[in-house]
Amino acid sequence: MEIVATYKLHNVNRVKLEALFHRVFGAAQLDLALEDRFGKPVKQREWFLVPLHVIDEVVQRIVDGTLTDVVYDVQSARLVTTQ
Protein backbone atom coordinates (compact mmCIF):
# COMPACT_ATOMS: atom_id res chain seq x y z
CA MET A 1 0.00 0.00 0.00
CA GLU A 2 1.18 3.49 -0.81
CA ILE A 3 0.00 6.70 0.88
CA VAL A 4 -0.71 9.22 -1.88
CA ALA A 5 -2.16 12.07 0.20
CA THR A 6 -2.74 13.12 3.79
CA TYR A 7 -5.01 15.83 5.12
CA LYS A 8 -5.16 17.69 8.43
CA LEU A 9 -8.56 18.88 9.49
CA HIS A 10 -9.07 20.62 12.82
CA ASN A 11 -12.22 20.97 14.91
CA VAL A 12 -14.12 18.41 12.84
CA ASN A 13 -16.36 15.75 14.34
CA ARG A 14 -14.94 12.44 13.04
CA VAL A 15 -18.31 10.63 13.11
CA LYS A 16 -20.01 13.41 11.13
CA LEU A 17 -17.06 13.55 8.73
CA GLU A 18 -17.32 9.83 8.03
CA ALA A 19 -21.09 10.12 7.48
CA LEU A 20 -20.42 13.01 5.11
CA PHE A 21 -17.97 10.94 3.06
CA HIS A 22 -20.51 8.12 2.85
CA ARG A 23 -23.19 10.55 1.64
CA VAL A 24 -21.00 12.24 -0.96
CA PHE A 25 -19.23 9.12 -2.24
CA GLY A 26 -22.03 6.57 -1.74
CA ALA A 27 -22.38 5.79 -5.45
CA ALA A 28 -18.68 4.91 -5.64
CA GLN A 29 -18.61 2.54 -2.68
CA LEU A 30 -16.68 -0.60 -3.55
CA ASP A 31 -18.93 -3.67 -3.48
CA LEU A 32 -16.61 -6.13 -1.79
CA ALA A 33 -16.86 -8.78 0.91
CA LEU A 34 -13.83 -10.35 2.57
CA GLU A 35 -13.79 -13.32 4.90
CA ASP A 36 -13.02 -12.71 8.54
CA ARG A 37 -10.77 -15.07 10.52
CA PHE A 38 -13.71 -17.45 11.00
CA GLY A 39 -14.46 -17.62 7.29
CA LYS A 40 -17.58 -15.45 7.46
CA PRO A 41 -17.99 -12.79 4.75
CA VAL A 42 -17.75 -9.19 5.95
CA LYS A 43 -18.93 -6.46 3.60
CA GLN A 44 -16.42 -3.62 3.41
CA ARG A 45 -18.09 -0.19 3.64
CA GLU A 46 -15.05 2.05 3.97
CA TRP A 47 -13.60 1.79 0.47
CA PHE A 48 -14.59 4.03 -2.41
CA LEU A 49 -13.34 4.24 -6.01
CA VAL A 50 -12.82 7.99 -6.42
CA PRO A 51 -10.08 9.96 -8.22
CA LEU A 52 -7.64 11.81 -5.99
CA HIS A 53 -8.53 15.21 -7.48
CA VAL A 54 -12.16 14.73 -6.38
CA ILE A 55 -11.06 13.84 -2.85
CA ASP A 56 -8.92 16.99 -2.84
CA GLU A 57 -11.95 19.01 -3.92
CA VAL A 58 -14.14 17.50 -1.19
CA VAL A 59 -11.54 18.25 1.48
CA GLN A 60 -11.24 21.84 0.24
CA ARG A 61 -15.04 22.20 0.28
CA ILE A 62 -15.12 20.89 3.86
CA VAL A 63 -12.53 23.49 4.85
CA ASP A 64 -14.34 26.39 3.16
CA GLY A 65 -17.85 25.19 4.08
CA THR A 66 -19.16 24.72 0.53
CA LEU A 67 -19.78 20.96 0.59
CA THR A 68 -23.55 21.19 0.49
CA ASP A 69 -25.98 19.54 -1.90
CA VAL A 70 -23.28 17.71 -3.87
CA VAL A 71 -22.58 14.03 -4.50
CA TYR A 72 -20.00 12.18 -6.55
CA ASP A 73 -21.23 11.15 -10.00
CA VAL A 74 -19.55 7.92 -11.09
CA GLN A 75 -20.26 8.44 -14.79
CA SER A 76 -18.65 11.87 -15.04
CA ALA A 77 -16.12 11.29 -12.23
CA ARG A 78 -16.91 14.66 -10.65
CA LEU A 79 -19.05 16.27 -7.99
CA VAL A 80 -22.55 17.25 -9.08
CA THR A 81 -25.28 19.28 -7.42
CA THR A 82 -28.20 17.24 -6.07
CA GLN A 83 -30.78 20.01 -6.52
Kindly report, residue by residue over 46-63, the tens digit of the pLDDT: 889 999 999 999 999 998
Kindly report, residue by residue over 26-36, the tens digit of the pLDDT: 999 998 889 99
Answer yes or no: are the C-beta atoms of 18 and 26 closer than 8 Å: no
All residues at 6 or more sequence positions from 10 whose CB lies less than 8 Å from its CB, including other chains:
none
Cα(53)–Cα(20) distance, rounded to whole angstroms? 17
- Please count the residues of the chain: 83
Q: Of 28, 24, 30, whose CA–CA distance to 79 is shortest?
A: 24
